[in-house]
Amino acid sequence: MRIRFLGAAGEVTGSCFLIDTGGLSFLVDCGMFQGGREASIKNRAALDFDVSKLAFVLLTHAHIDHSGLIPRLVHKGFDGPIFCTSATADLLEVMLADSANIQEKDAEREDRKPLYTLTQALRSLRQLRAVSYDEMFSPAAGVRACLRDAGHILGSAAIEVWLDDAGKKLALSGDLGQPGRPLVRDPTPIEEADVLMVESTYGNRLHKTLNATVDELCQAITVTLADRRGNVVIQAFAVGRTQEVLYLLIRLAQAGRLPQLDIYVDSPLATKATAVTLKHWRLLDPDVAPTFASAMQAHGKPSIRFTESPEESAALSRVRDGAVIIAGSGMCDGGRVQYHLRDNLPRSESSVVIIGFQAQGTLGRRLVDGAAQVRIFGDEVDVRATVHTIGGLSAHADRSGLLSWLRGFRRAPGRTYVVHGEYETARTFCAVIERELGWHAETPAGGQVVEI
């Protein structure tokens, strides 16, 4: 059996793994690289093999760095099934269409051919096959698979795959969530595998506790709105983080821990993703699920408005104080958040809250790293607003959360590969695994092929 690490090896984005048993081949994930011009080059060079020979694709979740090249895969000739949870399938309907629109607009602006079109994205959806958590299924003869709740976002899965021809069992963590977070359930443990691929996005650090994180969020919002009379811009991934932040803001406002809030969700994608979340509310944490819908329908405290049209979004530039604006994209490199950053970064009375991982080369990463000036829409923008990085709301498990999931294995896997982490982070987490668990772990390079 051969595994080719096509992405998310020595870096966070572009998750894609090609498994070849000699009798058949398949992909786990087909994600887009994100972060700067180099990512665009990688996306166009990706999938450099005969995709028509793939038997199937297994998809861990809907985030674009795991799913975003599916339309290109189908356009290049893959006509097999793509297996994922039903919630992931519903999210992909909105996320791949949104991604295609971005591709088309960027291509038009730069006078080049898009990575894929809206028509191609919609066509690829026909190949999705929804399966339930913990349901054993056979994606091809001689192969069995099962999706386990990864606790990352709605519908996210860790995957177990039994390969009869190779006599091996694979386990792939996908992206693992932090235990004890609002909305989503804790990750489901996996007990054994011959080969394991585990993510390491935050494998070199610990998140603050949820209580400390909530205190930090309350402080940032209260000081900005009540004392400085500015706006709060919250960068959030449309899927997962936006819904969690909304839930927290509602609960905190109702508990009297925040002043009266005027919340604007300025992301059509987030609006649609919220609707999908409500549709699949039974997949949420059972302690939260029964109250989530009613909390989202709260009236007056706080005020929540989902903007739709570009005109509604543009009108927010005239709001000078008292607004909490939640907008994407998640790494600040596209979407409506850039307009709100342009308007609010130069204002010392405003704040920017960054709650998700920001890849190297992105605008969000430059803000996290303390840039005094950033370029937005071709113009240099001074950073006078206070930038808060609140990692405790990340959808990714930290070092402790990752180790907790790994301790669910009854014995060490035969081979452990640490993926989905920046190179030094992945190497650090390899050392942590070896020190804490006594397992040997490896960090593959992008494009590397290993024989099992």
User: What's the alpha-carbon Rg for the chain, to the nearest Å?
Assistant: 21
| Closest by CA position to 95, among listed 364, 328, 251, 278 | 328
Residue 298's pLDDT is what?
55
Do the beta carbons of residue 172 and residue 197 sit within 8 Å?
A: yes
**Blockwise average pLDDT, block size 10, the chain, 452 residues:** 97 97 96 88 96 98 97 98 98 96 88 94 98 98 98 97 94 96 93 98 93 93 94 90 89 88 92 91 83 63 86 93 88 86 96 87 91 93 94 90 98 97 97 97 97 94
Name the token pair of 230.
């500015």
One-letter amino acid of 290 = P
Report pLDDT for 297.
62
Find out whether 103 and 121 touch, Cβ atoms under 8 Å.
Answer: no
All residues at 6 or more sequence positions from 293 whose CB lies less than 8 Å from its CB, including other chains: 278, 281
Task: Identify whether residues 62 and 195 lie together within a single domain.
Answer: yes
| Amino acid, single-letter form, for residue 122 | L
pLDDT at 172: 98
- Are the CB atoms for 183 and 151 separated by under 8 Å? no
If asked whether residues 347 and 407 sit together in one domain, one would say no
pLDDT for position 419: 98
Q: Are residues 273 and 175 in the same domain?
A: no
> Is residue 387 helix, strand or coil?
strand
Distance CA 214, CA 43 (A): 37
Domain boundary among 369, 393, 417: 393
In 3D space, the residue among 97, 360, 124, 339 whose CA is nearest the CA of residue 231 turns out to be 339
Q: How far is the C-alpha of 311 from the C-alpha of 305, rounded, in Å?
A: 14
What DSSP string runs through 268-308?
HHHHHHHHHHHHTGGGS-TTTHHHHHHHHT--SSSEEEE--
- The DSSP annotation for 33-89 comes to P-SSHHHHHHHHH---S-GGGEEEEE-----HHHHTTHHHHHHTT--S-EEEEHHHH
Task: Indicate the number of domains in the chain.
Answer: 2
What is the predicted pLDDT for the residue at 393?
A: 85
Q: How far is CA 351 from the centre of its chain?
A: 23
Residues 289 and 386 in one domain: yes
| Sheet containing strand 168-172, strands side by side | 137-140, 143-149, 157-163, 168-172, 195-199, 415-419
Write the CATH number for 325: 3.40.50.10890
30 with 65, same domain: the answer is yes
Same domain assignment for residues 311 and 235: yes
113 with 253, same domain: the answer is no
Asked if residue 223 and residue 201 are part of one domain, the reply reads no
Of 371, 393, 415, the residue at which a domain comes to its end is 393
pTM of the model: 0.91
Per DSSP, helices labelled H in 191-259 are 210-222, 241-254
131: containing domain: 2-205+395-451
